[in-house]
Amino acid sequence: MSIKLKTLNEQVMVITGATSGIGLATARMAAEGGAHLVLAARDGDALDTLAHEMRQRGVEVATVTADVGNPADVARIGQVAMERFGRVDTWVNNAGISVYGRNEDVALEDMRKVMQTNFWGVVHGSLEAVKLMKGRGGGALINLGSEVSDRSVPLQGTYSASKHAIKGFTESLRMELDKEDAGISLTVVKPAAIATPFPNHAKSYMEHEPDLPPPNYAPELVAQAIVHAAQVPERDLYVGGHSKLTSVAGYLMPRALDRFMSRTMFGQQQSEHPNSSARRDSLYAPVAEQELRQRNNGERRVVERSPYTSFEMRSASAKTVLLGGALLAAWALTRRPWERRAWPA
């Protein structure tokens, strides 16, 4: 069975972690495209605020207060989607949390909580999505990985492990569904560092507040990739050229990248502000905020465009034309001047 995905304005889309960062950017972009939405998050008040925003824009929306680490909560997301809209066309497993600190310092219960949300949340969501899509025309399952799905970083060991696990689970599930001709597209989206409230919400064992290493890309770029994968089957999508570069460097020269990261990533993942005992994090419960936040309040410059990701999302024929043109130009530039054809004036 070939995989045929609906256009966005024909879709019912489930998004977890919908009230902040990438999830919020995706919800807003999908709404602009005309999708019906089922939005899930732990913070019921934030969900109400987002639902009000959506309804003012004429969007059909349902909300579910849910912790994706709890399989019963995830089943309820699916139940609400079916009761309200009768189907699910795209399911986006986006919810995620992190802990910053040396692996020796982080409490085991905190490590387990990260895995429960990031990995088991994706497992719960994926299995629920597959159950609802099989035999109903298929759909798109989009799991949020990271550049650390391919290459771990220091100070976020459990987060890196969870994103590796998401990649492994998704690849296995994809092959099983391919065997069945289930008509379900499975995509792992692998963003680089994204300028969201992610470090503000993370628990920290460090002396200074968590930060994101540069370059920081705009969350809207990830939303564009997700919306694209909802309509066009993709295996992997790297958001930000830095994400792909990190993956390739980790494969080609892993030890050199180890040394580089050990020298740079400890400083780059900490801000200049000392960590305060009064600092709140969202590891075990959501942090109540006065407004929905798509971006963080960081001081780093935000990269608003990614030519690499734009190229990734082009059709196969367009990629062939562009690559062919680039190779032809490279060939022309490498020829000796006297070998180049003299064009008539």
Q: Tell me which range, 129-143, 275-289, 331-345, is most confidently predicted by mean pLDDT.
A: 129-143
- Whose tokens are 């470090």? That residue is 199
Query: In which element (H, E) is residue 92 found?
Result: strand 90-93
On the CB side of 218, CA atoms within 13 Å amount to: 12
Residue with tokens 């966005």: 8
Catalytic residues: 159
235 contacts 171 by C-beta, under 8 angstroms? no
* Alpha-helical runs (H) found in the chain: 21-32, 44-56, 71-85, 108-133, 157-180, 198-201, 219-231, 241-252, 254-268, 307-312, 316-334
Q: Evaluate whether residue 331 is within a structural domain.
A: no
Q: Is residue 83 part of a domain?
A: yes
In the predicted model, is pLDDT for residue 180 greater than 80? yes
Measured between alpha carbons, how far is 10 from 24 in angstroms, rounded to an integer?
A: 20
Written as one string, the DSSP assignment of 3-30 is --PPPGGG-EEEEESTTBHHHHHHHHHH
For residue 193, being part of any structural domain is answered with yes
Our measurement of the distance from residue 289's CA atom to the centroid of its chain's CA atoms, rounded to an integer in Å, reads 22
Q: Do 192 and 246 touch, CB atoms closer than 8 A?
A: yes
Mean pLDDT of all residues in 54-76: 99
- Stated pTM of the model: 0.91
- The answer to whether residue 35 sits within a structural domain is yes
Q: pLDDT at residue 343 above 50?
A: no
Report the mean per-residue pLDDT for the chain. 93
- Element spanning 203, H or E: strand 203-204
Q: Is the pLDDT of residue 327 over 70?
A: no
Render pLDDT for 185-207 as a digit per residue (tens, 0 to 9): 999 999 999 999 999 999 999 99
Share of the chain above pLDDT 90, in %: 87
Please report where in the chains the tokens 């399952």 appear, as a residue.
141
* 143 within a domain of the structure (yes/no): yes
Q: Tell me the CATH number at 275.
A: 3.40.50.720
Q: How many domains in the chain?
A: 1
The CA-to-CA distance between both ends of the chain, in Å, stands at 56
Sign of CA dihedral 217, 304, 54, 291: positive
In a domain, 254, yes or no: yes
322 has pLDDT over 80: no
Helix 157-180 × helix 108-133 angle, to 10° = 20
> Beta partners for 61?
37
Identify the domain containing residue 149 by its residue range: 8-316
**Residue among 267, 44, 235, 45 at smallest CA distance from 149:** 235
The neighbouring-strand residues paired with 41 are 65
Q: Does residue 335 belong to any structural domain of this protein?
A: no
**What is the rounded CA–CA span in Å between residue 163 and residue 146?**
6
Residue 325 has pLDDT above 80, yes or no: no
Which residues make Cβ contacts (< 8 Å) with residue 179, sequence separation at least 6? none
pLDDT, tens digit, for every residue of 70-113? 999 999 999 999 999 999 999 999 999 999 999 999 999 999 99
CA distance 236 to 144: 10
The answer to the question of residue 332 being in a domain is: no
Quote the pLDDT of residue 2: 83
How many whole angstroms from its chain centre is CA 149? 11
